[in-house]
Amino acid sequence: MDLGTIIGCALGTGLIVVSILLGGMDKLILFWDLPSVLMVFGGGTASVMIAYPMKSVLKTFKYFKHAVINKENNPLATITQLVSLAETARREGLLALENRMDEIDDLFLKGGIRMAVDGMSPEVVESIMNTEIDAVSGRHNYGRSIIANYGKYFPAFGMIGTLVGLVLMLADLNPDTIGAGMAVALLTTLYGAIASNLYVLPMADKIGFLNDAEIQVMEITLKGVLSIQAGENPRVIKQKLLTYVTPSERPEEEEGA
């Protein structure tokens, strides 16, 4: 569970509502207009359906969910496990890792160790693991692009809705209702701006950040597996892998290394 996403959405929404209420408790109802909601969210969704295959659009909720519920990527924990496996391989031989497969939860790491134990060449192991890294990154970026396009289309339909509202208002111009008509017409622009900049685009950025973090851990895993397969000293492996981690996040004994 990503608390930052949840707190950020709640805080942003709360601040907007409070800002409205400061103008008067009766003002909140002025900011609700069902036709504007349909124009922004319905029109934006329609554009995404045109831009992407339907099976991808049907996974939209899954992509948004990933920005809220996601696994934690812990490079230090991965490095610690790789060093432990390296110590076993150094002490008992590479085949001894067969007995430790059950304690490996990460499928990517387990697959790499399995290939090494099975005697595949380092070139083949590296190629297969790199291909999987590229595939994971590609899937994440595809989902991120769908969400980012929602963020692009919502403000556009907000503006379209405002133009439609202005046309309807001017077609039946009445000095007594022009203020209310203008206010309603502007709501679609407001809805589009809020939906895009408070929710959708930040979630797309969060997915990009999570992708980078996961790919970093996968690259650490790849380097670790190849180093174990090559029979390198566990301390050398540890020092090599810690270069992926910023000095401030390294164990105290490694700071400044």
Q: Is the pLDDT of residue 253 over 80?
A: no
**Are residue 204 and residue 123 in the same domain, yes or no?**
yes
Give the residue with greater pLDDT, 201 vs 246. 201
Check whether 91 has a pLDDT greater than 50. yes
Angle of helix 201-229 relative to helix 75-92, nearest 10 degrees, comes to: 10
Q: How far is residue 217's CA from residue 80's CA, in Å, rounded to a whole number?
A: 12
Q: What is the DSSP string of 166-217?
A: HHHHHHT--TTTHHHHHHHHHHHHHHHHHIIIIIIHHHHHHHHHHHHHHHHH
Q: What is the mean predicted confidence (pLDDT) over 118-132?
A: 96
Q: How many domains does the chain have?
A: 2
Query: How do residues 200-225 score in pLDDT, each as one tens digit?
Result: 999 999 999 999 999 999 999 999 99
Say yes or no to pLDDT of 136 above 50: yes
Nearest to 225 by CA among 109, 88, 78: 109
Same domain, 16 and 85: no
pLDDT tens, residue by residue, 164-190: 988 888 887 777 767 777 888 899 999
Same domain for 38 and 142, yes or no, is yes
Q: Within this chain, do residues 90 and 211 fall inside the same structural domain, yes or no?
A: yes
Whether residues 81 and 124 fall in one domain: yes
The whole-number pLDDT of residue 203 equals 95
* 66 and 193 share one domain: yes
Q: Apex CA 21: angle with CA 16 and CA 22, to 5°?
A: 100
Same domain? 115 vs 155: yes
Cα 7 to Cα 209: distance, rounded to the nearest angstrom:
17
Which domain does 27 fall in, by range?
Answer: 1-31
pLDDT at 257: 41
pLDDT at 94: 92
pLDDT at residue 176, as a whole number: 72
Q: Tell me what the pLDDT averaged over the chain comes to.
A: 91
| 34-55 pLDDT, tens digit each | 999 999 999 999 999 999 999 9
Q: Is 86 a residue whose pLDDT tops 90?
A: yes
Looking at the predicted structure, is the pLDDT value of residue 255 above 60? Answer: no
